[in-house]
Amino acid sequence: MAGAPFRWWCSAASSGRSWRVSPPRRWELSSSPSAWTNFRARISPVGRELAKRYPSSAPEGQLRPLAEIFRQPAALTAVVAMALGQVVMIAVMVITSLHMEDHHHARSSIYSVISAHTFGMYAPSIFSGWLLDKIGRPKMIVIGAATLLLACVAAPLSPNILPLGFALFLLGVGWNFCFVGGSTLLSDQLSPLERSRTQGMNDFFVGLASAVISLTSGFLFDATSYTVIAI
């Protein structure tokens, strides 16, 4: 079952022989039909088998132009929700560490606040899919946007570690809800033929928005204040 190479190695080990294989022997083992058969069996296309067993319920449809897809209100809402959620999250997250340094926080305190934010970004994934199915895509996006707004209002209120940590945690939760709700809503509008291309373009928009806000947030912070960026 383990293949010829492994059986030969076990035999050599049990008899006390060296497990090292000379080059000719290595070639013999590597070209063994049983070894090749077992190797191919181990790398069987699991994804393909799962796709056959659980086919997509969406119709194949036609491959529509991207402009036509993004003109759909639901698809546009999904992309805007993900892009704006990403912009708000990055703008506040990136500047918070500088804001805390200005208030003479230790690095350990800064690490703790950013860790709380990261926890808020990914921990809700345990239940956000279930919640999404319960309340629907639009409500999930609205709750995420409201949570982001609450986080942005709360963040500048106090420079202390606990209020900042809680605000950054909420910022992560809001981003999670917007992204989960938006990505699922977008996927609902697409046929299987359209998904990879459209979702790739959506990722480009989100990445571009992230890059722009990352490059400009430092200049905005220097010219204005943490409160202006957050709100």
User: pLDDT by residue (tens digit) across 140-164?
Assistant: 999 999 999 999 999 999 999 999 9
* CB-based contact 171:120 (threshold 8 Å): yes
The pLDDT tens digits for 201-228 are 999 999 999 999 999 998 999 899 998 8
Same domain for 131 and 88, yes or no, is yes
Same domain for 104 and 187, yes or no, is yes
Q: Residue 58: inside a domain, yes or no?
A: no
Please report the beta strands in 26-128, taking only residues with DSSP state E, as ranges in sequence order.
none
* CATH number, domain containing residue 163: 1.20.1250.20
The pLDDT tens digits for 162-193 are 999 999 999 999 999 999 999 999 999 998 88
| pLDDT interval class at 46 (50, 70, 90) | low
Same domain for 104 and 168, yes or no, is yes
Same domain for 30 and 139, yes or no, is no
More confident residue, 131 or 15: 131
Q: Residue 64: inside a domain, yes or no?
A: no
Same domain for 154 and 216, yes or no, is yes
Nearest to 174 by CA among 202, 208, 147: 147
Q: Residue 33: inside a domain, yes or no?
A: yes
Same domain for 123 and 47, yes or no, is no
Same domain for 75 and 33, yes or no, is no
Phi, psi of 28 (to 5 degrees): -65, -45
Same domain for 101 and 179, yes or no, is yes
pLDDT computed for residue 19 by the predictor = 44
Q: Residue 119: inside a domain, yes or no?
A: yes
Query: Long-range CB contacts (< 8 A, 24+ apart) of 192-201?
Result: 192/56, 192/58, 192/60, 192/61, 193/60, 193/61, 193/62, 193/63, 194/61, 194/63, 194/64, 194/69, 197/63, 197/66, 198/66, 198/69, 198/75, 201/66
Q: Residue 62: inside a domain, yes or no?
A: no
Domain count, the chain: 2
The packing angle between helices 107-122 and 73-102, to 10°, is 160
Same domain for 145 and 36, yes or no, is no
Amino acid at 151: A
Neighbours of 101 (CB within 10 A): 12
Q: Residue 11: inside a domain, yes or no?
A: yes
Same domain for 35 and 87, yes or no, is no
- Across 139-168, b (16+ Cβ under 10 Å) vs e yields ebbbbbbebbeebbebbbeeeebeebbbbb
| pLDDT interval class at 25 (50, 70, 90) | very low
Show Cβ contacts of residue 166 under 8 Å, excluding neighbours closer than 6 positions: 116, 154
| pLDDT interval class at 30 (50, 70, 90) | very low
Q: Residue 61: inside a domain, yes or no?
A: no
Whole-model pTM: value is: 0.73
Domain that holds residue 147: 70-230
**DSSP-assigned letter for residue 38:** H
Same domain for 30 and 96, yes or no, is no
Q: Is 70 exceeded by the pLDDT of residue 42?
A: no
Element holding 178 (H helix, E strand): helix 161-188
| pLDDT interval class at 231 (50, 70, 90) | confident
**DSSP-assigned letter for residue 54:** S
Neighbours of 228 (CB within 10 A): 11
Same domain for 187 and 109, yes or no, is yes
- Residue 209: burial class (beta carbons within 10 Å; 0-12, 13-18, 19+): middle
